[in-house]
Homo-oligomer: A and B are copies of this chain.
Amino acid sequence: MSDLTVTVEPGRQDIVITRTFDAPRDVVFRAMTEPEHLARWWGLDETDTVVDRAEVRPGGTWRFVEKAADGEEYAFHGVFHDVVAPERIVQTFEFEGMPGHVAMDTHMLEEKDGRTLYRAISVFQTVEDRDGMVSSGMEEGLAQSLDALEGLARGLA
């Protein structure tokens, strides 16, 4: 069981996420930014994620496609504002099934005694968009993704 917290306060436009990874910060950052690793932890366990683009640098764009067993595809894309190794990534996020609704995600990594404290803030254009993301079941997918990310990072350490 991880120490994942997902904070969604009524009336706000953000989701705040914290989790400790049992791996050093530099390998967590590598797993989060190197295209060959991204597809392995991103998305739900039961879907296959295909990395269409992952230009992990300021101004680079990214696009991932999740392929479900029933053949459905769910695509996501965005652009990187900041990629500051090994501590911070700021990027936009759009689910292509809801075009025009864009979030901005800030991922922050802090090292503590060989472990990594992860904190993320997603901000949405409206409270309704934020609530829609929460009600889409994002928390379960997030928990799965971050478990997979930790496992991958431990393997890289």
**Interface residues of A: mostly helix, strand, loop or mixed?**
strand
Number of chain copies forming the complex: 2
- Looking across the interface, which residue of chain B has its beta carbon closest to that of A123? B123
Report the Cα distance A55→B14, complex, angstroms: 29
- B81 touching A92 by the CB < 8 A rule? yes
Q: Which residues of B contact A102 (CB under 8 A)?
A: 81-82, 90, 104, 106
- Looking across the interface, which residue of chain B has its beta carbon closest to that of A13? B13
Q: Is A100 an interface residue (CB 8 A)?
A: yes
Q: What's the nearest-Cβ distance from chain B to residue A14, in Å?
A: 6
Q: Map CB proximity to B onto A43-69 as digits: 1 under 8 Å, 0 otherwise.
A: 000000000000100111100000000
Q: Is A29 an interface residue (CB 8 A)?
A: no
Q: Which residues of B contact A104 (CB under 8 A)?
A: 92, 102, 104, 123, 125
